[in-house]
Structures are given as C-alpha cells and as structure tokens.
Amino acid sequence: MATAATASGNVIRKYLPIYFVLLAIFFVEVFLAFQHFSTATLVVLLLALAVCSAGLGLMYFMHLAEEHRNLLLTLIPVTIFVLLMMNMFWSDSVRLLHMRPFQQ
C-alpha cells in the first residue's frame, strides 16, 4: 500500500510542469487581452495559444501521447477536418443569404 501511495503522489509531480505551462499560457492570454490589438488579431492570437493549451491537455492530461498511435491518427485529423469544414459552412451560409433573391 505504501508503494502505491508513493506512486500515486508521483503522478502529480510528473504532470506538475504541464500544469504550470497551462497556467502560464493562460496568463499570457490575459496579458494579451489587455493590449490594444484589433479584435481579429486578438482572436487569432488567443486561438493559437488555446490550441497549444488544448494540445498539451490532450497529449498529457488525457494521455493521448501514451495511447496507440492509431487512436491519435483516427481521432485528431477527423476532428480538425470537421472543424475546418465548419469554417467553410459558416462563410458559405452568409454568401447564400446574400445570393437569395429578396421577395418583392
């Protein structure tokens, strides 16, 4: 039992650097939010940092880095593809709205 207790303490110590990196990224985001960037620039910067945080969370907290590579190759590209397609659908929906003939 003592060995088990020590080992379960180690996992916290093991992931503590990731925890601090995630918090550091968050504090950088807060700092950037108080700078006077244009909305579009701020959104892009914050999104880039959020993707970095999410990547760390996925790989280490959710242990995707330790899983079989097939799992990563199945889940992640599909998700990214769907999210990117959403980007297309959104702009396209606006285009269609403008193309629709107005009722006279």
Q: Which residues sit at the interface with other proteins, rule CB under 8 A?
A: 1, 4-5, 7-9, 11-12, 15-16, 19, 22-23, 26-27, 29-30, 32-34, 36, 39-40, 42-43, 46-47, 49-50, 53-54, 57-58, 61-62, 67-68, 70-71, 74-75, 78-79, 82-83, 86-87, 90-91, 94
DSSP letter for each residue of the chain: -HHHHHHHHHHHHHHHHHHHHHHHHHHHHHHHHTS---HHHHHHHHHHHHHHHHHHIIIIIS-TTTS-HHHHHHHHHHHHHHHHHHHHHHHHHHHHHHHSPPP-
In the complex with other proteins, the residue whose CB is nearer, 66 or 99, is 66
User: Which tokens in the block code for residue 16?
Assistant: 């503590």
In the complex with other proteins, the residue whose CB is nearer, 40 or 99, is 40
In the complex with other proteins, the residue whose CB is nearer, 71 or 104, is 71
